[in-house]
Amino acid sequence: MTADAPERAWKRLSVGDGAKGPRSYDWAMATLAPHPDDDLGGQASFGRWLLVRRILTPDDEGELGLAYYLCFGSAETTIDQLASVAGARWAIEECFQSAKNEVGLDQY
């Protein structure tokens, strides 16, 4: 189980600034078995990973919330790069929310 991963498997990284300061989480990455379609005709080698984000502060029930990302990319991709891409999601969500507010879509 991912929550039982040893502490050495986790790396604390900030994925950008939020309204309350840096958005820091613990991240872990596990390499997944290659898929037959990953060859892509002999081009550069690719990899698949399970990236896991863990919040730093337990919730009211004492749980450390986990989020999972299935990743695919160049075999040389690092956990820092994967976490950075995963963290870019917040900027996109903020943009969508602003756009909805400006055109009144938040009312529907």
Number of CB atoms found within 10 A of residue 15's CB: 21
What is the pTM for the complete model shown?
A: 0.73
Local confidence pLDDT in tens for the 108 residues of the chain: 566 778 889 999 988 776 677 888 999 999 998 777 666 555 668 889 999 999 888 777 777 789 999 999 888 999 999 999 998 876 677 777 777 777 776 665
